[in-house]
């Protein structure tokens, strides 16, 4: 974004660049909540310990025992559902509707993503990922009715999510919270290749109750 603006000789004054994770961290810090999150190396180490724990049954036949593969599964389900109960139910319905034996394998993959996320949460007070920090910030936006946003970004007049080829659920839920709890306008700028598809999907993605909520105790 900044390179494109330089090439177009467009002034950047008055524009603040930040990714959703940085925005979530700022909101949590403003609300005096912990913004600490596990990094990928820490997660892989903890996943390895979870898989080696004989008291934890978390590796059904369809799921590899490699921590990197398990983390990839967890990340994909997190990106698609945000571990939101309604979205998880929708994914489970799709998985169960597939032909055998793919239906059972797909269901197991969804289950292991939820199980590993739950196990990680039980082992650390930190957010499991930066994405979880964004969800926590989303919930705080709703809880404070936008007050935490006004305190963290008192001079922001407009929010733009730009240059995207896909929209992680955590990001769309953060925008949902902004639209519902503040008067700040929000713009979404998509890439050319996927923009027309995403523009049709945004309204459906926004149509969920309690964005940012999860199936775990939060």
Spans of all domains in the chain: 2-34+132-206, 40-123
pTM of structure = 0.87
Question: CA separation (Å) from 133 to 37, 67, 125, 190, 212?
Answer: 7, 22, 12, 24, 10
Distance between CA 67 and CA 87 in Å, rounded? 25
Q: In this predicted model, what pLDDT tens digit does every residue of 120-151 receive, in sequence order?
A: 999 999 999 999 999 999 999 999 999 999 99
Question: Which pLDDT tens digit goes with each residue over 51-76?
Answer: 887 666 666 556 667 899 999 999 99
pLDDT value of residue 199: 77
Mean pLDDT of 77-95: 93
Chain centre to alpha carbon of residue 177: 13
pLDDT at 9: 82
């Amino acid at each position: 974004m900044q390179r494109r603006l330089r090439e177009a000789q467009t002034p950047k004054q008055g524009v603040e660049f930040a990714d959703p994770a940085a925005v979530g961290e700022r909101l949590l810090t403003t609300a005096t909540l912990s913004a600490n999150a596990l990094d990928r190396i820490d997660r892989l180490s903890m996943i390895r310990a979870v898989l080696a724990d004989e008291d934890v049954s978390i590796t059904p036949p369809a799921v590899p025992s490699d921590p990197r593969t398990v983390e990839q599964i967890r990340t994909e389900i997190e990106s698609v559902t945000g571990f939101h109960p309604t979205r998880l139910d929708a994914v489970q319905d799709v998985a169960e509707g597939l032909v055998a034996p793919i239906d059972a394998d797909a269901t197991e993959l969804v289950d292991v993503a939820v199980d590993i996320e739950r196990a990680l949460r039980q082992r650390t007070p930190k957010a499991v990922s930066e994405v979880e920090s964004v969800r926590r910030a989303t919930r705080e936006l709703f809880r404070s009715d936008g007050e935490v946003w006004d305190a963290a970004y008192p001079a922001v007049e407009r929010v733009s999510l730009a240059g995207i080829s896909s929209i992680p659920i955590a990001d769309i839920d953060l925008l949902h919270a902004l639209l519902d709890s503040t008067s700040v306008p929000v713009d979404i700028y998509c890439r050319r290749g996927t923009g027309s598809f995403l523009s049709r999907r945004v309204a459906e993605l926004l149509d969920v109750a309690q964005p940012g909520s999860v199936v775990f105790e939060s």
